[in-house]
Amino acid sequence: MSKSPIGKSSDRERLARFAAKQELEATKASRRKKDNRLAVLVSVLAVAIAIGSQLTYSALVPKPEASAPEVSPTPPSAAIPDVAIAENRTWTGTMAVGEATLDLELDGSLAPQAVANFIDLAGKDFFSGITCHRLTTENIFVLQCGKSDEGGPDYTFGPIENAPADNVYVKGTLAMARVSSDDLGPEGAANSMSSQFFIVYDDSTIGADEAGGYTVFGKITGGLDALQPVFDAGVEGGGPDGPPALETKLGAIKLG
């Protein structure tokens, strides 16, 4: 018995529909793969952009950090100044910086170790003639001083005292420079202060590292405007961070 022509046509139609369905499913699967690859690519690009932005921001926001303490050929012989020197009180005085005479106020109550150190070094005339070696003019605004070409004191000290919780260092702040925790670890960095300090000449947000912020030991109460020519002259050779173009040396410091 011969098969009905209608049956043959139905088989062909079913096969055609099956083939069309298979092709449609294959097309959908291909599109899903492309969409997934695109989503992954977008995510990777987003992460890369975020990381790049963070690195760029970090590079543009330098922190006032002292150079790593020099290694002496013999163990340090000098003792850290006694905190009792600070007398748990406010000290006032003047400091010659370049052509300016700045009025100072030191907080021996909130930062006794840093104030004791500053008083002790000033009393030994340690700072006189030292060139302020660093000026920053973008994002943060500080003049860093106290690095002697003949070497610093034969000690470093800590801990960090009186660092602002919001990381904002207002105009006129006197704070201690130190080594970054990236170089010495949190504990080492917190105990790496010596003779270097910085003067904040305009409000600055300086992010803390793993060691914390920077010891605020006093403030400039007058005369800061007289240093404006130094700030206006900028950095030697241009750029936002480096030696001041206008040489600026520390002079006499009188405290009482």
pLDDT tens across 81-104, in order?
A: 999 999 999 999 999 999 999 999
Residue with tokens 């599109």: 31
- Give the confidence band of 158 by pLDDT, cuts at 50, 70, 90: very high
* Beta strand segments in 62-186, E: 90-97, 100-107, 134-136, 142-145, 168-169, 173-176
**pLDDT confidence of residue 48:** 38
**Which run of H or E residues covers position 112?**
helix 112-123
Q: Which of the residue ranges 3-12, 71-80, 153-162, 227-236 would you say has the lowest mean pLDDT?
A: 3-12
Return the higher-pLDDT residue of 35 and 188: 188
The closest of 194, 110, 103, 104 to 147, measured between CA atoms, is 194
Contact call for residues 203 and 170 (beta carbons, < 8 A):
yes
* Beta strand segments in 22-133, E: 90-97, 100-107
Fold of 81-255: Cyclophilin (2.40.100)
For residue 30, pLDDT over 70 is answered with no
**pLDDT confidence of residue 254:** 98
The closest of 38, 90, 66, 29 to 194, measured between CA atoms, is 66
Residue 252: strand, helix, or coil? strand
**C-alpha to C-alpha distance for 254 and 122, rounded to whole angstroms:** 8
Backbone angles phi, psi at 178, to 5 degrees: -155, 175
**pLDDT confidence of residue 186:** 96
Contact call for residues 171 and 200 (beta carbons, < 8 A):
yes
**pLDDT confidence of residue 150:** 82
Contact residues for 247 (Cβ-Cβ < 8 A; gap 6+): 98, 131
Q: What is the number of helices (H) and of strands (E) in the chain?
A: 4, 11
Average pLDDT over residues 12-41: 50
Residue with tokens 């404006």: 228
**C-alpha to C-alpha distance for 254 and 256, rounded to whole angstroms:** 7
Tokens of 161: 């005292």
For residue 126, pLDDT over 50 is answered with yes
For residue 197, pLDDT over 60 is answered with yes
**C-alpha to C-alpha distance for 18 and 41, rounded to whole angstroms:** 35
